[in-house]
């Protein structure tokens, strides 16, 4: 703990547990600036926009911050002036004018201007995608994301990872399968809540390629903090190539026949689907091309064969509350063969 104490050499010293420590304002300001700069970057920062709507939201944030600083500065200056000036310097009427002007009129004008600026921004952010745009269905479940691409009469399904083409306005149709969730990829667009039995829509337009993080922004249960989402933005050609690969059935397990046999014999196919094979479960994520994803368990672990085996054996420890049972009793060789098989599904 620290406190300001008159026993210090000056009011510019801080007494820390009874000892005076010089107040180095330059270092403190530099530290604050460094923390602020770090917070503005990264794959999950609303202030490092990579989408058209995120750019509008970030611009609105800075404009509102500037307006707040104007109001704060005016109010503080009026307060300091009132404290330091002599009482007989001003008449009652002039004092009231100062208070009403600096404390009421100026904030009202600034806030009205911010409202007039912000309403068109809101309209642009909630504008729907154009007719014929790519439509992606995203269903939130405790605690992962089911993602389906509409591809004519068929649907391409993946999990916890969304691929988008840069420069294209996309429509996401969002719904929840159980409780209230919230879809938020700060670098691309604003937050949209997801309700059971109701479809909400979000249009977004990536402006640069990269890998960005999303999350569920509404508390949804025990594993809420581990409900991550990866968004990969590529060129249109790369996206089309990726979508074409995803539409294909899973490759044959010629290289890992024991892995597929163990996968099916231990009941994994009752919950998970592998298109083109006999596994057709609908409870858990689709694993047709799971080996090509960047992570597993909604971002809990990087995708490697070792991590897949670890997840199968101890899912409840890695993600408390998860509905997937832990297969601790499986022989190590079966765990390794299942993990190797899944890692090869690209």
**Assigned domain for 223 exists:** yes
**Which residue range forms the structural domain that includes residue 107?**
45-127
Q: Which of 62-76, 78-92, 132-146, 227-241 has the lowest mean pLDDT?
A: 78-92
Per-residue model confidence (pLDDT) at position 37: 53
Same domain for 147 and 213? yes
Torsion of CA 45, 46, 49, 52, to 10 degrees: 150
Confidence of residue 217 (pLDDT cuts 50, 70, 90): very high
**Assigned domain for 57 exists:** yes
Same domain for 220 and 287? no
Query: What pairing do the DSSP bridges indicate for beta strands 144-151 and 192-194?
Result: unpaired
pTM for the whole thing?
0.79
Distance of alpha carbon 113 from alpha carbon 99, whole angstroms: 20
Q: Is the pLDDT of residue 296 over 60?
A: yes
Q: Is the pLDDT of residue 68 over 70?
A: yes
Q: Which two tokens stand for residue 286?
A: 């689709």
Per-residue model confidence (pLDDT) at position 4: 36
CATH of the domain at 306: 2.60.40.420
Same domain for 273 and 310? yes
Mean pLDDT of 260-266: 92
Per-residue model confidence (pLDDT) at position 3: 41
Q: Which residues pair with 155 in a beta bridge?
A: 150
Distance of alpha carbon 221 from alpha carbon 217, whole angstroms: 12
Q: Which of 110-114, 153-157, 205-209, 257-261 has the lowest mean pLDDT?
A: 153-157
Distance of alpha carbon 322 from alpha carbon 300, whole angstroms: 12
Q: What is the pLDDT of residues 270-285, one digit of tens each?
A: 999 999 888 999 999 9
**Assigned domain for 240 exists:** no
Same domain for 32 and 70? no
% of the chain residues with pLDDT over 90: 60
Q: Is the pLDDT of residue 29 over 60?
A: no
Mean pLDDT of 260-271: 92
**Assigned domain for 251 exists:** no
CA dihedral sign of residues 75, 81, 83, 87: negative
Pick from 180, 203, 235: which residue ends a domain?
Answer: 235
> 150 or 199, which is more confident?
199
Q: Which two tokens stand for residue 25?
A: 């304002």
**Assigned domain for 245 exists:** no
> 242 or 11, which is more confident?
242
Distance of alpha carbon 158 from alpha carbon 145, whole angstroms: 9
Same domain for 114 and 71? yes
Per-residue model confidence (pLDDT) at position 295: 94
Same domain for 266 and 282? yes
Q: Is the pLDDT of residue 158 over 60?
A: yes
224 contacts: CB under 8 Å, gap ≥ 6: 143, 216
> 102 or 333, which is more confident?
333
Residue bearing tokens 């500065």: 73
Same domain for 305 and 280? yes
**Assigned domain for 252 exists:** no
On average, the pLDDT of the chain sits at 85
**Assigned domain for 209 exists:** yes
> 80 or 88, which is more confident?
80
Same domain for 262 and 310? yes
**Domain count of the chain?**
4
Reference 169, options 120, 199, 135, 214; nearest CA is 135
Residue bearing tokens 């806030």: 111
**Assigned domain for 243 exists:** no
> 258 or 234, which is more confident?
234
120 contacts: CB under 8 Å, gap ≥ 6: none
């Amino acid at each position: 703990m620290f406190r300001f104490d008159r026993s210090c050499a000056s009011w510019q010293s801080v007494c820390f547990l009874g000892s005076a420590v010089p107040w180095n304002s330059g270092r403190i300001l530099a530290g604050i600036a460094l923390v602020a700069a770090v917070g503005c970057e990264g794959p999950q920062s609303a202030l490092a926009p990579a989408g058209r709507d995120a750019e509008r939201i970030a611009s609105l944030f800075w404009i509102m911050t500037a307006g707040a600083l104007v109001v704060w500065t005016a109010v503080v200056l009026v307060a300091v002036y009132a404290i330091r000036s002599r009482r007989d310097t001003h008449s009652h009427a002039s004092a009231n004018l100062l208070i009403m002007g600096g404390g009421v009129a100026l904030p009202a004008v600034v806030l009205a201007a911010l409202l007039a600026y912000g309403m068109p921004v809101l309209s642009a952010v909630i504008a729907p995608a154009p007719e014929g745009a790519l439509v992606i269905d995203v269903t939130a479940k405790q605690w992962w994301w089911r993602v389906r691409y509409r591809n004519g009469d068929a649907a391409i399904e993946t999990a916890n990872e969304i691929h988008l083409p840069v420069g294209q306005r996309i429509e996401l149709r969002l719904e929840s399968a159980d409780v209230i969730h919230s879809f938020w990829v700060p670098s691309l667009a604003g937050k949209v809540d997801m309700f059971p039995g109701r479809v909400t829509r979000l249009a977004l337009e990536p402006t640069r390629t990269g890998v960005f993080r999303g999350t569920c922004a509404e508390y949804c249960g025990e594993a809420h903090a581990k409900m991550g989402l990866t968004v990969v933005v590529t060129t249109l050609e790369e996206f089309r190539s990726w979508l074409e690969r995803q539409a294909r059935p899973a490759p044959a397990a010629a290289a890992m026949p024991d892995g597929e046999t163990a996968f099916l014999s231990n009941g994994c196919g009752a919950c998970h689907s592998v298109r083109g094979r006999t596994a057709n479960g609908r409870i858990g994520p689709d694993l047709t091309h799971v080996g090509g994803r960047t992570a597993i368990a909604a971002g809990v672990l990087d995708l490697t064969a070792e991590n897949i085996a670890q997840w199968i054996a101890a899912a409840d420890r890695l993600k408390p509350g998860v509905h997937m049972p832990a297969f601790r009793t499986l022989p190590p060789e079966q765990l390794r063969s299942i993990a190797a098989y899944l890692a090869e599904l690209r």
